[in-house]
């Protein structure tokens, strides 16, 4: 058999491992923009704008406070600030001070914050005033708020000098941020990313042209590495960054901000991108370059978008957090393939190879595992040398001493045109609401609870086209009174420890789990459930009116829960933002009325939604933030 080996000097790998310029630190590059164009707008949020000089000055002042508070080089600093100019000031300040930021999600349970801060050995957190009480005991809070009218007691002079460090204060190899991913052992792992890796993503990229007048958009959680591209690509290149305000994310609101702020480069994670194309394609009217990534892109959605906006540039970006946001990209204005949207070629500063189990390149067209090398590689998992060594291997094709390659766990194949196609995962990892999830993480967390003897968690397709988790537990004591509602109580307990996307949609209590001939749990033999009993604590109240009756049916179908009571909260029953959009589309189809998503977030019960719906049917004029069917089709 002939073997096709893609070479570009290095057998097995294609791409280039080094950008064609010397790497720099991110804060230095932002400071240069502040020098070059001090009055240019840098960050806009909810009508408030910071210029480059204001951003840089405020970040320097806060960096001074961080150093005064004892920050040493490469110390990790938690950042607990909602989307606002203060958030960007905080991130930049950590970098200027020589630290590495760790984005904490305000909506995550305090137990999760505590776990991550402890794992990262972070002794400092920058928090906004309103979130100060979320900071765990023993951690020093540095509160960041809007700048005073006149520079007050704050030090305005340059921040105190950084203590000496072996790699120098402005080394691009210094750690810039920590991003946690779920691990197969149940413990979250902190991926440590150096400045060099961000620099390779956002400067001189060969897959994205950044123009001086471009306007970027930030919406992804800072805990999630899509935010790396969203935030630093504009600020390193002197463009304006628009932040979605710190409110619940709804499609119509995002569409409105994107249009009003004239966003030109828009990154949306895959699930959200699909929904935006389906229900608010007008959002893309002024956008020049749309990027998506994080999950498998649907060819029909991409085709629909490109047919409507032929001048638009579209990128399907692929990559694990361990290789800094993007590893490969497919960029085009046309998609002819119907089978899949390719994930493209390695981005600048990156080499990739498709290898078999013996680390030999596989022939083109055959499926193999994707390995990545180059300047985008993370340093590894903080404080976990064994886990790091397992995934970051010596690069047998590398020419530099100590070169490493990252084993992605993703199965791919080379297509005849030299681009890559994503095939699937080599392990159990799944994407839930856009987040990387290892079902084992949830099993471990369940088995830590005294009431649980065994736990199994499996992924299942959900009606929004995504994946949800379904749990099975064997109780420690099956005779325990109240074991009937054990599943519901366990979900409640998990909420105190895990982020929302890892809470199983349902937990089924079984007297035992089926085993196969080898004595292992037979996961295939577990009963699947598409409907589960109502799993909320409030009392059941039956629907009465025809509108309530129909809404209860729609909720039941989408959430897979029965019976649904009129006082039940959509989000308590397992609803999330993607399902909320589907519900409102179904309501529109059924009743001919558009309900803004904000209404569902503010009035999340069947009874409240029915009242809002009836009011809209009686007075069909538009309220702010509401789009009619006619407006949408324009």
Among 16, 33, 237, 316, binds ligand ADP (CB under 6 A): 316
Give the largest CA-CA distance in the chain: 75
Among 5, 69, 130, 296, binds ligand ADP (CB under 6 A): 296
What is the nearest approach in angstroms of ligand ADP to the Cβ of residue 275?
16
Q: Which is nearer to ligand ADP, 294 or 368 (CB)?
A: 294
d(CA 557, CA 440): 28
Copy the structure tokens of residue 326: 């993007």
How many other C-beta atoms are found inside a 10 Å radius of the C-beta of residue 48?
A: 13
d(CA 324, CA 378): 7
Residue 320 found at the interface with ligand ADP (CB under 6 A): yes
Determine the interface stretch with ligand ADP among 59-67, 290-298, 382-390, 508-516 (rule: CB under 6 A). Answer: 290-298
Asked whether the bond before 563 is cis by omega within 30 degrees of 0, the reply is: yes
Q: Which is nearer to ligand ADP, 60 or 408 (CB)?
A: 408
Q: Which is nearer to ligand ADP, 225 or 568 (CB)?
A: 225
Residue 33 found at the interface with ligand ADP (CB under 6 A): no
Q: Which is nearer to ligand ADP, 54 or 315 (CB)?
A: 315
Among 436, 453, 510, 632, binds ligand ADP (CB under 6 A): 436
Determine the interface stretch with ligand ADP among 301-309, 316-324, 560-568, 584-592 (rule: CB under 6 A). Answer: 316-324
Three-state SS string over 348-370 comes to CCEEEEEECCCCCECCCCCCEEE
Residue 10 found at the interface with ligand ADP (CB under 6 A): no
What is the nearest approach in angstroms of ligand ADP to the Cβ of residue 511?
36
What is the nearest approach in angstroms of ligand ADP to the Cβ of residue 220?
8
Among 194, 271, 319, 574, binds ligand ADP (CB under 6 A): 319
Q: Which is nearer to ligand ADP, 55 or 208 (CB)?
A: 208
Q: Which is nearer to ligand ADP, 238 or 294 (CB)?
A: 294
Three-state DSSP class for 128?
coil
What is the nearest approach in angstroms of ligand ADP to the Cβ of residue 316?
5
Q: Residue for token digits 């193999």?
A: 368
Among 343, 352, 486, 612, binds ligand ADP (CB under 6 A): 343
d(CA 327, CA 349): 9
Determine the interface stretch with ligand ADP among 23-31, 167-175, 289-297, 438-446 (rule: CB under 6 A). Answer: 289-297
Among 216, 422, 472, 570, binds ligand ADP (CB under 6 A): 422
Determine the interface stretch with ligand ADP among 59-67, 160-168, 235-243, 314-322 (rule: CB under 6 A). Answer: 314-322
d(CA 575, CA 60): 42
Q: Which is nearer to ligand ADP, 458 or 507 (CB)?
A: 458
Chain positions 147 to 206 lying near ligand ADP, rule: CB under 6 A, are 181
What is the nearest approach in angstroms of ligand ADP to the Cβ of residue 591?
36
The string of DSSP codes covering 458-508 is EEEE-TTSSEEEEEEEEES-TTSTTGGGHHHHHHHHHHTTS-GGGS-SEEE
Residue 408 found at the interface with ligand ADP (CB under 6 A): yes
Determine the interface stretch with ligand ADP among 58-66, 243-251, 313-321, 547-555 (rule: CB under 6 A). Answer: 313-321
Q: Which is nearer to ligand ADP, 19 or 294 (CB)?
A: 294
CB 294 within 8 A of CB 270: yes
- Contacts by 306-311, CB closer than 8 A, 24 or more apart: 306/333, 306/334, 306/335, 308/281, 308/284, 309/284, 309/285
Residue 413 found at the interface with ligand ADP (CB under 6 A): no
What is the nearest approach in angstroms of ligand ADP to the Cβ of residue 431?
6
CB 281 within 8 A of CB 305: yes
What is the nearest approach in angstroms of ligand ADP to the Cβ of residue 242?
20
Three-state DSSP class for 414?
strand
Copy the structure tokens of residue 298: 């649907």
Q: Which is nearer to ligand ADP, 57 or 225 (CB)?
A: 225
Determine the interface stretch with ligand ADP among 287-295, 357-365, 386-394, 514-522 (rule: CB under 6 A). Answer: 287-295
Residue 323 found at the interface with ligand ADP (CB under 6 A): no
Residue 437 found at the interface with ligand ADP (CB under 6 A): no
Among 190, 221, 294, 565, binds ligand ADP (CB under 6 A): 294
CB 314 within 8 A of CB 302: yes
Q: Which is nearer to ligand ADP, 240 or 289 (CB)?
A: 289
d(CA 591, CA 601): 19
Q: Which helix (H) or strand (E) segment is 421 a member of?
A: strand 420-425
Which residues make Cβ contacts (< 8 Å) with residue 353, sequence separation at least 6? 6, 12, 13, 14, 361, 370, 371, 373, 397, 405
Determine the interface stretch with ligand ADP among 6-14, 19-27, 144-152, 318-326 (rule: CB under 6 A). Answer: 318-326
What is the nearest approach in angstroms of ligand ADP to the Cβ of residue 323?
9
442: exposed, middle or buried (Cβ count in 10 Å: 0-12, 13-18, 19+): buried
Number of residues that bind ligand ADP (CB under 6 A): 21
d(CA 385, CA 381): 7
What is the nearest approach in angstroms of ligand ADP to the Cβ of residue 42?
24
Determine the interface stretch with ligand ADP among 51-59, 231-239, 294-302, 588-596 (rule: CB under 6 A). Answer: 294-302
Q: Which helix (H) or strand (E) segment is 444 a member of?
A: helix 439-447
Among 104, 127, 162, 226, binds ligand ADP (CB under 6 A): 226
Q: Which is nearer to ligand ADP, 501 or 571 (CB)?
A: 501
Q: Which is nearer to ligand ADP, 226 or 452 (CB)?
A: 226
Three-state SS string over 358-410 comes to CCCECCCCCCEEEEEEECCCCCEECCCHHHHHHHEEECCCCCCCCCEEEEEEE
Helix axes 270-279 and 251-260, enclosed angle (nearest 10): 80
Chain positions 346 to 405 lying near ligand ADP, rule: CB under 6 A, are none
Q: Residue for token digits 């994407």?
A: 431
Buried b (16+ CB within 10 A) or exposed e, 469-484: bbbbbbbeeeeeeebe
d(CA 317, CA 344): 8
Among 321, 331, 350, 599, binds ligand ADP (CB under 6 A): 321
Interface with ligand ADP by CB under 6 A: which residues? Answer: 181, 225-226, 293-297, 316-321, 343, 408, 410, 422, 425, 431, 436
């Amino acid at each position: 058999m002939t073997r096709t080996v893609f070479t570009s000097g290095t057998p097995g790998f294609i791409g280039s491992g080094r950008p064609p310029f010397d790497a720099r630190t991110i804060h230095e590059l932002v400071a240069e923009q502040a020098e070059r164009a001090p009055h240019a707008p840098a960050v806009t949020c909810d009508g408030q704008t910071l210029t480059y000089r204001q951003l840089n000055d405020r970040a320097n002042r806060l960096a001074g406070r961080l150093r005064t508070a004892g920050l040493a080089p490469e110390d990790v600093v938690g950042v607990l600030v909602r989307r606002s100019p203060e958030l960007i000031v905080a991130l930049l300040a950590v970098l200027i001070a020589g630290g590495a930021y760790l984005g904490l999600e305000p909506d995550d349970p305090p137990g999760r914050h505590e776990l991550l801060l402890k794992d990262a050995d972070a002794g400092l957190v920058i928090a906004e005033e309103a979130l100060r009480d979320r900071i765990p005991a023993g951690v020093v809070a540095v509160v960041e708020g809007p700048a005073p009218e006149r520079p007050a007691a704050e030090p305005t002079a340059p921040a105190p000098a950084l203590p000496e460090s072996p790699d120098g204060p402005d080394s691009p190899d210094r750690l810039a941020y920590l991003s946690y991913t779920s691990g197969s052992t149940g413990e979250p792992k902190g991926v440590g990313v150096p400045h060099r890796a961000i620099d390779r993503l956002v400067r001189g990229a060969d897959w994205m042209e950044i123009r001086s007048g471009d306007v970027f958009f930030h919406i992804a959680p800072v805990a999630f590495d899509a935010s790396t591209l969203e935030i630093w690509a504009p600020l390193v290149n002197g463009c304006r960054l628009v932040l979605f305000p710190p409110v619940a994310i709804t499609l119509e609101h995002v569409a409105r901000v994107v249009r009003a702020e004239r966003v030109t480069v828009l990154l949306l994670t895959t699930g959200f991108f699909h929904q935006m194309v389906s229900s608010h394609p007008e959002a893309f009217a002024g956008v020049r370059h749309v990027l998506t990534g994080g999950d498998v892109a649907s060819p029909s959605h991409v085709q629909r978008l490109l047919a409507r906006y032929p001048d638009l540039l579209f990128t399907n970006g692929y990559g694990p957090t361990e290789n800094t946001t993007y590893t490969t990209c497919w960029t085009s204005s046309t998609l002819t393939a119907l089978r899949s949207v390719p994930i493209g070629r390695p981005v600048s500063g990156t080499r990739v190879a498709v290898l078999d189990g013996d680390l030999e390149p596989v022939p083109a067209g055959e499926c193999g595992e994707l390995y990545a090398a180059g300047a985008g590689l993370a340093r590894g998992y903080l404080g976990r040398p064994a886990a790091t060594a397992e995934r970051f291997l010596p690069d047998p094709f590398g020419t530099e001493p100590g070169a490493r390659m990252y084993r992605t766990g993703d199965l791919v194949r080379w297509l005849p045109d030299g681009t890559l196609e994503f095939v699937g995962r080599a392990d159990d990892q799944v994407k839930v609401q856009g987040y990387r999830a290892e079902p084992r993480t949830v099993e471990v967390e369940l088995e830590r609870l005294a009431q649980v003897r065994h736990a199994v968690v499996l992924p299942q397709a959900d009606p929004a086209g995504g994946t949800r988790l379904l749990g099975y537990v064997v109780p420690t004591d099956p005779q325990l009174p109240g074991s009937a509602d054990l599943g519901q109580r366990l979900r409640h307990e998990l909420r105190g420890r895990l982020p929302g996307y890892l809470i199983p949609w349902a937990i089924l209590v079984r007297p035992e789990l089926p085993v196969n001939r080898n004595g292992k749990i037979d996961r295939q033999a577990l009963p699947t459930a598409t409907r589960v009993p109502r799993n909320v604590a409030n009392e059941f109240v039956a629907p009465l009116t025809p509108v309530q009756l129909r809404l209860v049916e729609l909720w039941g179908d989408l959430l897979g829960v029965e019976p649904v009571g009129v006082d039940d909260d959509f989000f308590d029953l397992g609803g999330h933002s993607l399902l909320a959009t589907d519900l409102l589309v179904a309501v529109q189809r059924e009743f001919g009325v558009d309900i803004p998503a904000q209404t569902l977030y503010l009035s999340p019960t069947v009874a409240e939604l029915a009242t809002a719906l009836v009011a809209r049917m009686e007075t069909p004029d538009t309220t702010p933030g509401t789009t009619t069917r006619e407006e949408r089709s324009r």
